[in-house]
Amino acid sequence: MTEDPPRPASLPAGHDDEDPYEGEDLSTYPDWWRANVEEFRAHGMRPYRPPRLADGTLSPPVVADLRDELGVDVRFRAKNPQHGGSWTLVVDGEDVAAVDHRRHGDGYTVYDLREEELREAVRAAVER
């Protein structure tokens, strides 16, 4: 038996009772983070929580760093958007590597790559 009562069916998909940004000064967050918080709010989605890599590193700054350093577009993309579907690391529109991912209980995505593995995979793709 679970201690939590079932969620009411009237709540929208992805509803989150907790807003981690309530009372926070969003101007103290990086531009990319603030933009995502605002976009999620505008669409009535659960609060934005940035995705992370397997070692706990936030992935958006690493992706931006690689883009700036190497001049390439780096993305994580769902190959099959169904629950449990496969994802891939994409560099300049080319699939580079399959990437497992999971949703953390706190509501963010975890990509099954450590920061150094991501950097190596992107650099190797650029060198091809």
Phi-psi region of 7 (alpha: psi -120 to 50; beta: other; left: phi over 0): beta
Let me know whether 45 and 81 are in one domain. no
- Domain containing 116: what range? 50-127
Residue 105 CB contacts under 8 Å (≥ 6 apart), including other chains: none
* Number of domains within the chain: 2
Which residues in the chain come in under a pLDDT of 70?
1-17, 82, 84
Note whether 44 and 59 are same-domain residues. Answer: no
Q: What is the pTM of this model?
A: 0.79
How far is residue 96's CA from residue 98's CA, in Å, rounded to a whole number? Answer: 7
What are the tens digits of pLDDT across the range 28-65? Answer: 999 999 999 999 889 988 889 999 999 999 999 999 99
Give a yes or no: residue 96 inside a domain. yes
55 and 115: one domain?
yes
Residue 7 belongs to some domain of the structure:
no
